[in-house]
Amino acid sequence: MERLKPTLVHGTIVPEIDDTFSPDAIDFVGTMIMKGLSCTFTWYTRIRVPEDHELDELVDRLSVSSSTWHRIIELCHIAVSYHVKGDFKKSKSFLAESFIPLLEVHGIQTNCAFTMKHREALKHVLDSTSAFIQLSSCDDHEARRNLYNYAKTVTSFDSMDKCQRAGVHAIRSRLSDYPDNMLYAREAVKLNPEEGRWHYYLAEALFEADQRGEFKGRDRSEAYREIMKHNQISLSLCQDSPEPLLLMAEILVSGGDPESCEKAYLLIQNVLKKFPNSAYAHMRGADILQMSQQSFDLMPRSYLLIEPFYQKAIKLAKKECALLRHKLGLHQVLMAKLRLANYEGIYKEGIKNLELAALSIHDANIHLMLAGNGLLDSSVVGIHQMPRPLPWAEDSSSESSEPYLKTVEVSKKSKKKKGKGKRK
């Protein structure tokens, strides 16, 4: 009975698997091993599994990921989604691609410092998820036994330091739906309060929940203060990412008044000066301005601000991105309706971009047909919807919002000074 000597594996006591085990016994012990892993399938949470057209969009968006870290998580999300939908071949392919930046091979390994700092957390999630996906499509008992033995070698979550455990919780927050994403982000912040990105994840989860109407009355005011608090911390700790600044711009836009939208535009300009080579920053900046158009004093002006951001994002993207073509094409066709200078040329360019997007995006095909019949307008597309206004009035004098507004005001004043100098 030596083989039944218990061993602690990932927090679970299991016997050693040897040749005398039956296939059913191997699977029973293997299931106990797998339950101890922080695998996306063993969290017992609501993993976000997108619809087919949304999944195609996720794949397309890989070329405009904000960082290597986020691209790896997005690849894992895509792999998990394909697995849930029963496409094991695509699932394995995307999961294999997610490992490439982590390979310790010169010329292949990523130079992203943040990714390497949390490499152990990423490896744990990817290794355990890979084992689960391979087991689900493996009928050979010997191979299954080998996979269970491989799962035992994955670094245990409990053996990691706080930094890596926080990283695992942060990954969970990116793959889960509300309220699980908020709870995991809180846990990541609790374990590693000095990591700015975890504060950003929490602020973003709260903001998105608020925009969906999850908070009411007093709870909404509390959520607003928490959003501002954690995004402010993120801004001070996370200087190498455009995301906290862009979230602040979106919060400003949610104020719903022209002055806040002007501040958001100035903030976006500052972001693009700081991250001039980020396709993600240009795309998100354009998206946020798209939401704010109704609040600008002059509608044509707001249309003209957006087009160059999408165009620059297309140039900066690592490969052809149908999503960006779709966004730009829609914007150009709608802009042509304003009969601005060269509106005919803008319309033709918009149709061309929609044609390119329609090759892989279903909605782009619909919008192309509507545009061809002169029926495409903002009400059909639905891109001008403003976010739900946050309770600015209740907290307008709070310290939490002051640093952001000061940053924007300084930029605005400096522009005015430059203008006065030119008039002299």
Q: Read off the pLDDT band of 2 (50, 70, 90).
A: very low
Residue 8 phi/psi, 5° resolution?
Answer: -85, 115
pLDDT (0 to 100) of residue 382:
55
pLDDT (0 to 100) of residue 384:
47
Q: Read off the pLDDT band of 28 (50, 70, 90).
A: low
For residues 126-152, average pLDDT = 80
**CA separation for the pair 25, 214 (Å, rounded):** 46
pLDDT (0 to 100) of residue 42:
63
Q: Read off the pLDDT band of 43 (50, 70, 90).
A: low
Beta bridge partners of 6: 15
pLDDT (0 to 100) of residue 285:
94
pLDDT of 297 > 70? The answer is no
**CA separation for the pair 413, 382 (Å, rounded):** 35
When the pLDDT of each residue in the chain is averaged and rounded to a whole number, the result is: 82
pLDDT (0 to 100) of residue 369:
94
pLDDT (0 to 100) of residue 259:
83
For residues 181-206, average pLDDT = 97
pLDDT (0 to 100) of residue 132:
82
Q: How many CB atoms lie within 10 A of CB 35?
A: 13
For residues 83-107, average pLDDT = 90
**Three-class SS string for 341-399?**
CCHHHHHHHHHHHHHHHHCCCHHHHHHHHHHHCCCCCHHHHCCCCCCCCCCHHHHCCCC
**Three-class SS string for 19-66?**
CCCCHHHHHHHHHHHHHCCCCCCCCCCCECCCCHHHHHHHHHHHHHCC
For residues 247-269, average pLDDT = 87
**CA separation for the pair 258, 335 (Å, rounded):** 20
**pLDDT tens for residues 351-363?**
999 999 999 888 8
pLDDT of 96 > 70? The answer is yes
Q: Read off the pLDDT band of 173 (50, 70, 90).
A: very high
pLDDT (0 to 100) of residue 334:
86
pLDDT (0 to 100) of residue 130:
86
Of residues 372 and 37, the one with the higher pLDDT is: 372
Contact 361, 322 (CB under 8 A): yes
From residue 148, how far is each of 28, 59, 378 by CA, in Å?
11, 30, 54
Helix H or strand E segment including 8: strand 6-9
pLDDT of 309 > 70? The answer is yes
For residues 230-235, average pLDDT = 96
Q: How many CB atoms lie within 10 A of CB 32?
A: 16
pLDDT (0 to 100) of residue 397:
38
**CA separation for the pair 310, 300 (Å, rounded):** 17
**pLDDT tens for residues 362-407?**
889 999 999 988 888 876 665 545 567 777 544 443 444 455 555 4
Q: Read off the pLDDT band of 255 (50, 70, 90).
A: confident
**CA separation for the pair 295, 258 (Å, rounded):** 5
Q: Please give the model's pTM, rounded to 2 decimal places.
A: 0.85
Contact 17, 27 (CB under 8 A): no
pLDDT (0 to 100) of residue 139:
74
Q: Read off the pLDDT band of 210 (50, 70, 90).
A: very high
DSSP 9: E
pLDDT of 22 > 90? The answer is no
**CA separation for the pair 128, 124 (Å, rounded):** 6
pLDDT (0 to 100) of residue 422:
44
**CA separation for the pair 328, 17 (Å, rounded):** 57
**CA separation for the pair 168, 110 (Å, rounded):** 19
Contact 191, 165 (CB under 8 A): yes
**pLDDT tens for residues 406-422?**
544 444 454 454 455 44
